[in-house]
Amino acid sequence: MHVPAIPARSTRSRRRAPAWLAHVTRLRRGPVPRTAMVRGALGAGPLLAAGIAAGQPGPGVLAALGVMLAGVNDRPGTRRKGLVHIGLPAVAGSLGLLAGAVVAESAGRWAAVPALFLVGWVSGALSARSAVWSAAALQMLVATTIGMGMPLAGPAWLKALCFLTGAGWLVVLRLLLRAPRSRDSTRWSGEREAVAAVFDALADALGALGGPGAPSARRALVAAQQQADEALRLMRLLPWPRRSGGAAHVLAERFGAGVALCGASIALQWEGRPVPDAVAEGPRRLAAAVRSGGPAGTLPSPRPDTVERLAFDRAVLEAAVVFDRTTAGSPAPQDPARPPATGTRAGFRPGLFTPAGREYGLRVALCVSVTAAVALLLHEDHWYWLPATAAFLVKPDMGPLFSRVVNRFAGTVAGVLVFVALMAAAGGLGPPLVVAAVVVAGALVPLSTRHFAFQTAVITVLVLSFVHTAGDTEAAASRLMETFLACVIVLLVGHLPRVADPRVRVGHRFAVTLRCTERYLRHVLAAPGPAGESRLPGGAGGRQRDDARGLALRSAAYRALAEARAAAETLAAELPGPFGGRRHDWSAVTVAAELVVDAATACALRVGNGVPRPSSGEVERVTTALSVLADALEDGHRVARPAPGPGPRDCRSLRDVMTQLHGIHRLTTAGETRSASSAFPARS
């Protein structure tokens, strides 16, 4: 099989800044979110102006605060995705504000310390589940802190209602203000674009086969597939009134054909041989057909001279049949009300009581409670800024801690300087200028997500405007010292050995990946049914489409792999030495884990297309090795374990799985970091 050569290390790469320093200035790129910026301008500013005009600045501030925190989660995607990714954190934030206000009304000031410890632990543990739960947990923690410390008049329920009303106003804007539609777009334009992006990513992955860009193209393909799956799942869960069930059914069927092609392309990736350039044109035509609703035309495929290429050829034929059957003007399905199932979520999801959940929770709880105690010792009022700042900094899934601390302080300095300059230029901020500053800063919130320092500066201007409106006209100067204290406390407490163990945080993610892969292999390599029909992908009749359970298990494995890769990249950008605590080469473990999941997918495709099935003993040996290594990664490598044995001689894909497991074993048990090239021998 083709093994790409490792390029020689250049002088430029030797002079490259370390990851922990380079991450400080790393900027996310992408198109300017013009529509989201319009929503931001129409969000907090008008609500704050309405509160001031009505003589009730307190409710106006809380509503504007709800819009601001919701605006951070106003990311690109379908309207349904916006409802979930904005709505769930908003509900969590309103509940946190309600709880914080109740504690402030019924208990003493120092009750905030144990209360924030408890809320911080729950918030950190929830962050181990997914991105949307992490956003909800962060808003809950920040809103709880504000509810306890921000001096605003009114009962607790009214404060929570004002906050939720503000976030709801942004949801309404999200539904009404969308990106301009193209001439041929429909009410399903967001979901159509998500499905079409899968075929575009597939074309890129096919074009990169056999080259150095193949792994990154494969990752982009898996990410596009997961985003489309989420969009279609939300389309089924949140149907619009009077929707076109036939259109939803067609879109789901075409996505199902794309999922089959993606699985076959991963087998081609595992094979490692490039395909003719014309083969990539087929998915491009499928993407255009998804956008227009028309037919796909002729679809080229590689010559089926291997099992992997035969699987892809059959998937192309099935895609052609599906697209012809679902072309606009074709007969509608008899039961269009429910689209066919796609790869839904399955497999293990981290929870509150997993090692990673406990580590996340303890880290966040300690930081916010310690900063709250220090703030209460220093301030009689307005102490909430310290724990609120710590909450934004310490979330383990939101990037390297050192980078976030540096950017938080730099952004706060910039935001305070801008606010002070506005005060000096205007001779004191009057209500019209405050509202104008909030309108401009609100419009910049969606754009500011490209860099944490930029985002911090924008949010600092917004928060100082809110605090000024609430009556605290001398807040700007004290914010610098409070932010500095919060950064120092978080940097120290967040790196305590028992609080931030990278082996727990990252090893747990890889353990989840291996367990999901084990479940997938056990499912697809199960014995045939009594009638001789295989349960494997592409079983009876040579079909390439997995059954729903297999799709879900494979999707769960790749989702867990993406989360593990993100955790490893975050750890690589932490401070080295005693702060980062790095012992293992997690980037090399990532490479091995990717090859494990790819080889498992290739095994399923190969067996489903005529390759002899491995014996039950071989399957059991491989799946047991996956389970044992996952257990060892989960417990932080505190127990000795034997290395995985050799793979089956008559199954190349399972042999690859065992080879990579052996590499992971060596990397995570060696006393010093080893290079990936020595850990992973080339396949024959």
Closest to 395 in 3D by CA, of 619, 137, 29: 137
Q: What is the pLDDT of residues 299-310, one digit of tens each?
A: 888 788 888 888
Measured CA to CA, the distance from residue 45 to residue 68 in angstroms comes to: 10
Please say whether the beta carbons of 586 and 571 come within 8 A. yes
Higher pLDDT, 621 or 346: 621
Where b means 16+ CB within 10 Å and e means fewer, 607-634 reads bbbebebbeeebbebbbebbbbbbebbb
574 lies in the same domain as 674 = yes
Q: How confident is the model over 116-138, as a mean pLDDT?
A: 87
* Percent helix / strand / coil, the chain, rounded to 5: 70, 0, 30
Q: How confident is the model over 491-516, as a mean pLDDT?
A: 78
Q: Judge whether 17 lies within some domain.
A: no
385 lies in the same domain as 278 = no
Query: At a CB cut-off of 8 Å and minimum separation 6, what does 641 contact?
Result: 628, 629, 632, 665, 669
Which pLDDT belongs to residue 412? 92
Query: At a CB cut-off of 8 Å and minimum separation 6, what does 31 contact?
Result: none
91 lies in the same domain as 198 = no
Q: Judge whether 660 lies within some domain.
A: yes
Q: Judge whether 423 lies within some domain.
A: yes
Residue-wise DSSP of 511-571: HHHHHHHHHHHHHHTSPPPTTS---STT-GGG--PPPHHHHHHHHHHHHHHHHHHHHHHHH
Structural domain boundaries, residue 273 = 191-237+245-325
Q: What is the pLDDT of residues 655-683, one digit of tens each?
A: 889 999 988 888 887 643 443 344 344 44
468 lies in the same domain as 319 = no
Residue-wise DSSP of 170-209: HHHHHHH--PPPPTT--TTHHHHHHHHHHHHHHHHHHHTT
**Angle between helical axes of 452-470 and 475-493 (0-180°, round to 10):** 130
- The half-sphere exposure of 612 on its side-chain side, counting CA atoms within 13 A, is 9
Which pLDDT belongs to residue 568? 87
Least confident of 153-167, 477-491, 592-606: 477-491
Q: What is the pLDDT of residues 543-590, one digit of tens each?
A: 434 477 888 899 899 999 998 998 888 888 876 655 444 456 788 899
Measured CA to CA, the distance from residue 618 to residue 69 in angstroms comes to: 52
Q: What is the pLDDT of residues 265-300, one digit of tens each?
A: 998 888 888 888 888 888 999 999 998 888 887 888
Which pLDDT belongs to residue 82? 83
Which pLDDT belongs to residue 380? 66
Closest to 89 in 3D by CA, of 64, 112, 66, 118: 66
Please say whether the beta carbons of 367 and 461 come within 8 A. no
320 lies in the same domain as 366 = no
Q: What is the pLDDT of residues 174-225, one digit of tens each?
A: 888 765 554 444 445 788 899 999 999 999 999 998 888 888 999 999 999 9
402 lies in the same domain as 520 = no
Residue 351 has pLDDT above 70, yes or no: no
Higher pLDDT, 185 or 532: 185
Highest-confidence range of 43-47, 248-252, 349-353, 538-542, by mean pLDDT? 43-47
Domain end call among 493, 518, 544 = 493
Percent of the chain at pLDDT above 70? 80
Which amino acid makes up residue 175? L
Using CA of residue 428, residue 143, residue 93, residue 508, what is the dihedral sign?
positive
Tell me how many domains the chain contains: 3
Please say whether the beta carbons of 181 and 189 come within 8 A. yes
Q: Judge whether 1 lies within some domain.
A: no
pTM: 0.82
Q: What is the pLDDT of residues 76-121, one digit of tens each?
A: 878 888 888 899 999 999 999 999 999 988 887 889 899 999 999 9
276 lies in the same domain as 355 = no
Q: Judge whether 9 lies within some domain.
A: no
Q: How confident is the model over 597-607, as a mean pLDDT?
A: 90
Q: How confident is the model over 645-653, as a mean pLDDT?
A: 75
545 lies in the same domain as 481 = no
Q: How confident is the model at residue 455 (pLDDT cuts 50, 70, 90)?
A: very high
Using CA of residue 310, residue 316, residue 319, residue 321, what is the dihedral sign?
negative
Q: Judge whether 8 lies within some domain.
A: no
Which pLDDT belongs to residue 329? 54
353 lies in the same domain as 470 = yes
80 lies in the same domain as 120 = yes
Q: What is the mean pLDDT of the chain?
A: 80
Which pLDDT belongs to residue 513? 93
Q: How confident is the model at residue 531 (pLDDT cuts 50, 70, 90)?
A: very low
Q: Judge whether 23 lies within some domain.
A: no
664 lies in the same domain as 619 = yes
Which pLDDT belongs to residue 632? 85
Distances (CA, A) of 524 to 193, 249, 271, 602: 31, 27, 19, 11
Which amino acid makes up residue 203? A
Residue-wise DSSP of 73-135: T--SS-HHHHHHHHHHHHHHHHHHHHHHHHHHHHS-GGGHHHHHHHHHHHHHHHTTT-HHHHH
Q: Judge whether 10 lies within some domain.
A: no
Measured CA to CA, the distance from residue 197 to residue 558 in angstroms comes to: 18
Residue 259 has pLDDT above 50, yes or no: yes
43 lies in the same domain as 152 = yes
